[in-house]
Amino acid sequence: MLTHGSNTKSQEFTPAELTAAVEEAHNFGLKVAAHAHSTEGIKNAVRAGVASIEHGTYMDDEGIRLMKEHGTFYSATLDVHDCITAKPDQPADFLEHNKGIADIHYAAFRKAVQAGLKIAFSTDVPVCPYKDAGKEFAYMVKYGMTPMQAIQAATMGGAELIGVLDKVGSIRKGKFADIIATAGDPTQDVTQLERVQFVMKDGKVFKSPDASGVAAN
């Protein structure tokens, strides 16, 4: 999408190359995330055994079926399209690549949610500013998830995808005390997660409201 002279629907690796990459990663106990937009590229990556599909823009019904069969996670990064168009100095060909793609991407995400795919919260930093990462929650809810599903994608979903669900992802005895808090209820208004007031990491407080109730670092 953001490469000069690229074809947004092209395949850049053969099935054999994808399989070799996944096998080599597995030999080292690692997982593979596939940055995949094209319909066939997504399916080839899933068949090769990748752990997750990033973007999955042109994902079709067969791709969704394959992902569900293989237990492949979907990391959609729905915020990226608005981030691309928001930059005043964005190259014209990047804007052309992005034209008309957002609605296709959003429809694929909605189908993925309805199909019950495993979904992990994700953002497209640095295309989107790191400080705005929490805006992805609103996109996920707008295009098919409940607020709680979006929250679970960012906690348990992400932890399961990268293989650390035994350490993080939920508040349980024996896990890291990684906790955030907001002023309001994010299950009623998911945009509360764009305004985190309290942050604890492994039991240590890194951010908390000051006496006036305004968040302070």
Q: Which domain holds residue 136?
A: 15-167
CATH for 209: 2.30.40.10
Q: Are residues 21 and 78 in the same domain?
A: yes
**Residue 108, pLDDT score:** 98
For residue 60, the one-letter residue type is D
Residues 151 and 198 in one domain: no
Q: What is the pLDDT of residue 146?
A: 98
CATH number of the domain that residue 68 is part of: 3.20.20.140
pLDDT of residue 211: 45
Residue 78 sits at the vertex; the CA angle it makes with 58 and 181, to the nearest 5 degrees, is: 150
* Chain CA centroid to CA 143, Å: 14
Residues 154 and 185 in one domain: no
Q: Which whole-number Å values give the CA distances from 117 to 68, 89, 156, 166, 173, in the listed order?
A: 6, 36, 14, 21, 28
Please tell me whether residues 183 and 160 are part of one structural domain: no
Is the pTM higher than 0.75?
yes
* pLDDT at residue 7, rounded to an integer: 86
Residuewise pLDDT in 10s, the chain (217 residues): 888 988 888 899 999 999 999 999 999 999 999 999 999 999 999 999 999 999 999 999 999 999 999 999 999 999 999 999 998 888 999 999 899 999 999 999 999 999 999 999 999 988 999 999 999 999 999 999 999 999 999 999 999 999 999 999 999 999 999 999 999 999 999 999 999 999 999 999 999 987 455 555 5
**Residues facing residue 35 across a β-bridge:** 54
- 85 and 181 both lie in a single domain: no
**In a domain? residue 67:** yes
Q: Are residues 150 and 108 part of one domain? A: yes
Domain tally, the chain = 2
**Could you tell me if residue 80 is inside a domain?**
yes
Q: What is the pLDDT, as a whole number, of residue 215?
A: 53
Residue of 72, 30, 25, 28 lying closest to 47 (CA atoms)? 72
45 and 70 together in one domain: yes
> Considering the domain boundaries, does residue 3 fall inside one?
no
